[in-house]
Amino acid sequence: MNGSLAGFEERRLAELKEHVAARAAAERAGRPHAVAERAGWPRRRMVLAVAAGAAIAAVASVVTVSSMGGADRAYAVTKDSDGIVYVTVRDFRDAAGLTRQLKSLNVPAIVDFVPAGQKCKEPRAEPVTDIPRGLYYAPRNIPGDDAGSGWQMQINTKLFKPGQTFVWTLAVDPVYGGSDTSTILMRDPVAPCELVPDDVQHVVPKMPFPEVTSLGGYRVEGKTVGEVLPEIEKRGLKVTYLITEPPPERYPGDPYLMYPTKQGTPVGADWFVWQADEPEKGVIRLMVTQKLQKP
């Protein structure tokens, strides 16, 4: 991890780099408005994208172990004889407990849990730009955890300088309901997390979701809300909406954008459905926009 990543949320940065690179490649190929296809998008939940670092090493010569929970522990923190701390998190709600465990192992850290649709008011402190290489590796999915229910990372406690705090923000992804995390090294003092509405745009990719089984093969894409609702109601299903907007006119064909602060806007029968999923059995989520995206 180098200083150029300081202050950025890993998943957003990974999305941005991949999306820009794909668009640039399309433009070089003479297709300035080609859809930037993305490999590896999760089908129902956005979890974590790896931004930097190598695979997390196995813990050797463990001298300290801290954990909370039973067989499916909410989190586990271990420290080896070289001062490397390994963190595995599966439940993000006990941010205060994880903060205490990290500090007990000499990791100067603050962990905050942020509900969907909110964010911590910025600035909280001055980000550190000269991050030592190897101080930490960005959070990554737990190997073998197909459900994407948590993440793991490692931190070298010997590389912290006095007056620095490692700030984690654990959040619920507002689109897919999975977990988001930002990892930022800041200079003390760090202000508490003051929750404010999330006004950041979130990318909602156009992608082949698994078939919505409760609809029995009925396709919603390209239809209006007024056309789709009777079919859903006939099947006794509930409906929720994810309100989205087409991308700027300069980039037709790109993924739609979602703003948490605009959720809850009344959806009209003439709105268009461009994608749907089934976040839980019996609940159909329609991704809608007031106007169709230009091809």
Other CB atoms within a 10 A radius of the CB of residue 131 amount to 19
Residue 218 and residue 112 share a domain: no
Domain assignment present for 295: no
- Going by their DSSP bridges, the two strands 283-289 and 238-243 should be labelled as parallel
Residue 278 and residue 142 share a domain: no
Q: What distance lies between CA 160 and its chain's CA centroid?
A: 26
Residue 173 and residue 132 share a domain: yes
Residue 189 and residue 51 share a domain: yes
User: Cis omega before residue 123 (within 30°)?
Assistant: yes
What whole-number distance in Å separates Cα of residue 168 and Cα of residue 282? 35
Contact 174, 116 (CB under 8 A): yes
Among 175, 196, 217, the domain boundary falls at 196
So what's the pLDDT on residue 211?
67
Residue 209 and residue 96 share a domain: no
Domain count, the chain: 2
For 74, the domain range is: 3-196
So what's the pLDDT on residue 4?
34
Residue 274 and residue 186 share a domain: no
Among 196, 224, 252, the domain boundary falls at 196
Residue 149 and residue 251 share a domain: no
Domain assignment present for 294: no
pTM tops 0.75: no
Residue 63 and residue 174 share a domain: yes
So what's the pLDDT on residue 32?
33
Residue 272 and residue 239 share a domain: yes
What whole-number distance in Å separates Cα of residue 97 and Cα of residue 76? 11
Residue 119 and residue 230 share a domain: no
Per-residue b or e along 83-110, where b marks 16 or more CB atoms closer than 10 Å to that residue's CB: bbbbbbbbbbebbebbbebbeebebbbb
pLDDT tens sequence for the chain (295 residues): 333 333 334 444 444 444 444 444 444 444 333 222 222 333 233 333 333 332 223 333 334 444 554 434 678 899 998 999 999 888 777 888 889 889 888 899 999 999 888 999 999 999 999 999 999 887 787 777 665 567 888 999 999 999 999 998 888 888 877 777 888 999 999 999 999 999 988 888 876 656 688 888 898 988 999 999 999 999 999 999 999 998 887 776 778 999 999 999 999 999 999 999 988 889 999 999 998 776 6
Contact 57, 191 (CB under 8 A): no
So what's the pLDDT on residue 70?
43
Residue 101 and residue 33 share a domain: yes
Among 140, 162, 196, the domain boundary falls at 196
In DSSP terms, 196 is beta-bridged to 119
Domain assignment present for 97: yes
Residue 121 and residue 258 share a domain: no
